[in-house]
């Protein structure tokens, strides 16, 4: 008797450098999470029925270089962000990415865990719960776009800081000395 691994296709959305967006179907094993899928890929991820934002023409098969990904999401909310549920309330943080993009969302820090220690111990993609884009690189204007739960590439983070629970439009950068 052979044991087969069952893989299901799920639609994922990838936000890439230079504000390019790509959606496509990705084969996921049973119980796989978005963060673990991305962390397990060394160089590329395969997509089928892939579409660039604004294009009506699907590509039957495309491979995407992992290092180009800023963050990824599951638009159908049918892929868990992480394998284990969040133990408590996420710690609110803001993260500045390459090019001045600023995101706010919840990070799964343990009680009294320092943000730097969490980032040092986390994998290449970190879960950011209820993410909101506060500023984009295009014009530096706050945009307030709700991104939902995303897996964020650690390689693209320039700075991060904890924030108190505030209204979505109340955003400030850390003080400079």
The pLDDT value given to residue 177:
41
Q: Which residue has the tokens 């600023």?
A: 102
Q: What is the pLDDT of residues 82-115, one digit of tens each?
A: 887 666 789 999 999 988 899 999 999 988 899 9
- What single-letter DSSP state applies at residue 130? E
- Tell me the CB-side half-sphere exposure of residue 124, using CA atoms within 13 A: 16
Same domain assignment for residues 97 and 63: no
118 pLDDT band, cuts 50/70/90, is very high
Residue 69, both tokens: 């990904």
Q: Alpha helices of 59-126 — where are they, by DSSP H?
A: 115-121
Query: Would you say residue 70 has pLDDT above 70?
Result: yes
Is the same domain home to 106 and 155?
yes
Domain of 57 in residue numbering reads as 7-73
What does the chain come to in residues?
177
Which H or E run includes 35? Answer: helix 34-40
pLDDT recorded at residue 123: 92
The residue with greater pLDDT, 103 or 165, is: 103
Q: What is the DSSP letter of 34?
A: H
Which residue has better confidence, 73 or 3?
A: 73
Token output for 151: 């897996």
In a domain, 96, yes or no: yes
* CA-closest candidate to residue 28, choices 47, 42, 43: 47
Report the CATH number that the domain containing residue 69 is assigned in CATH.
2.30.30.100
Tell me if 61 sits within 8 A of 44, measured CB to CB.
no
Q: Check: pTM over 0.75? Answer yes or no.
A: yes
- What pLDDT is stored for residue 175 in this prediction? 44
- Both 55 and 104 in one domain: the answer is no
pLDDT tier for residue 176 given thresholds of 50, 70 and 90: very low
């Amino acid at each position: 008797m052979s044991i087969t691994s069952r893989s299901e296709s799920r639609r994922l959305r990838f936000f890439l450098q230079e504000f390019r967006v790509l959606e496509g179907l990705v084969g996921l094993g049973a119980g796989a999470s978005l963060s673990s899928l991305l962390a397990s890929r060394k160089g590329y991820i395969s997509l089928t029925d892939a579409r660039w934002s604004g294009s009506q023409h699907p590509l039957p098969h495309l491979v995407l270089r992992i290092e180009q990904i800023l963050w990824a999401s599951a638009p159908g909310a049918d892929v868990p962000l992480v394998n284990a549920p969040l133990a408590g309330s996420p710690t609110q943080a803001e993260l500045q990415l390459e090019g001045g993009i600023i995101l706010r969302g919840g990070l799964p820090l343990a009680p009294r865990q320092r943000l730097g220690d969490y980032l040092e111990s986390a994998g290449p993609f970190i879960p950011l719960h209820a993410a909101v884009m506060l500023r984009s690189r295009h014009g530096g204007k706050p945009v307030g776009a709700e991104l939902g739960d995303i897996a964020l590439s650690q390689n693209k983070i320039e700075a991060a800081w904890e924030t108190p629970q505030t209204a979505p439009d109340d955003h400030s950068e850390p003080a400079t000395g």
